[in-house]
Amino acid sequence: MREFARNLSESLTEAAAEEPARRGYGGHSMVAPLRRVLVQKPAPSRSPEDAARFGYPHAPNDELAVREHDALVSLLADAEIEVIAQAPAPAGELDAIFVYDSSFITDEGAILTRPGKAVRRPEVELAASVYRELGIPVIGTIEEPGTLEGGDMCWLEPSILAVGEGFRSNSAGIDQLTAIVQPFGIDVYRVPLPYWHGEAECLHLLSLISPVDHQTAVVYLPLLAVPFVQLLRRAEWTLIEIPEEEFSTQGSNVLTLEPGKVLMLRDNSITRGRLEEHGIEVLVYSGDEISHNRAGGPTCLTRPILRDMFAEEAPTEGDAADT
């Protein structure tokens, strides 16, 4: 695996960065300015068994879910991000709200995933439908026996995609993903995920790390693989650690709106303070139902369609120091 480039200008030409913005989709980055994003309105409950079927700690509150989601959409729109709503999900498809997982966007087009959580597989057709409507080509689809979820996929730089291998994304799925993206010059770096609480609970790579600026990420180190952390440190990433008590409230699940400006759950005040100490601007939202009851943060609730890498400025030497 080759070492990271020190800045974007070494691995991405200006012309290549401008092309996705012209098309309206793409951007191989977790932090470039977010211009277009997909969301999914919460589906209503279908039966009292829904909570157990999806592994929620208590029955969903449909009215609260809609109010919280509407407020989240308004916040994104206020940040001058184009918000595109997928078609309504059928009643009972409660996890469809986590639109990040059923697809992934590259400069060449979309990849349709195959969730490791079997009850979520109908969500993939919702993603396929909206891409047809938007005219975004689908360049690949993960097929059985492969499983792959968007929450395990994290751009480290434009040509390096880290993918968590665990219960939700398996080796066969990552093999298929690699075959799809390698012709476009993208390397896939596998990150082993821990057993943690087992197959019944969700643990994505993005449960443990969220880039918040160039070569800067908020992390939960106790569950990250040692070789991955060592790779980031060799590349001189700044790693902002969250406290133990804020892992359960998804302190390490943060959506970056532009370099140095993020959206996170309001509950994680210690993590917020640490981000602000590093010069990160923090916006917050309320997610008692759409996040805490369903175990998904702001990244999970959104599917970036376009990140404008042409608008980015390369990081300075002073941005690369590790903590």
Q: What is the pLDDT of residues 22-36, one digit of tens each?
A: 889 999 999 999 999
**In a domain? residue 4:** no
What per-residue confidence (pLDDT) applies to 18? Answer: 67
* pLDDT over 90, % of the chain: 83
Structure-token pair, residue 323: 């903590």
Q: Quote the DSSP letter at residue 97.
A: G
**In a domain? residue 246:** yes
Give me the residue label for tokens 């009215």.
Answer: 63
DSSP string spanning 183-227? GGT-EEEEEEPP-TT-TTS---GGGTEEEEETTEEEE-GGGS-HH
Q: What is the mean pLDDT of residues 43-63?
A: 91
| Cα–Cα distance measured from residue 287 to residue 289, given in angstroms and rounded to the nearest whole number | 5
Determine the distance from the C-alpha atom of residue 232 to the mean position of all C-alpha atoms in its chain, rounded to a whole number.
18
**In a domain? residue 119:** yes
Please determine, for residue 323, whether its predicted confidence score (pLDDT) is greater than 60: no
What is the chain's mean pLDDT, rounded? 91
pLDDT tens per residue across span 284-304: 999 999 999 999 999 999 999
**In a domain? residue 225:** yes
- Are 303 and 105 contacting, i.e. CB atoms less than 8 angstroms apart? yes
> Measured at the alpha carbon of residue 86, what is the angle toward residues 173 and 301, in degrees to the nearest 5?
65
Query: Which structural domain, as residue segments, surrounds residue 63?
Result: 14-310
Residue at 9: amino acid letter: S
Pairing label, strands 255-258, 261-265: antiparallel
The CATH number for 157's domain is: 3.75.10.10
Number of structural domains (the chain) is 1
Global pTM reads 0.90
**In a domain? residue 209:** yes
3-state SS, residue 57: coil
**In a domain? residue 320:** no
pLDDT tens per residue across span 89-112: 999 999 999 999 999 999 999 999
**In a domain? residue 157:** yes
**In a domain? residue 7:** no
pLDDT tens per residue across span 228-259: 999 999 999 999 999 999 999 999 999 999 99
Structure-token pair, residue 264: 């996170």
Please determine, for residue 317, whether its predicted confidence score (pLDDT) is greater than 70: no
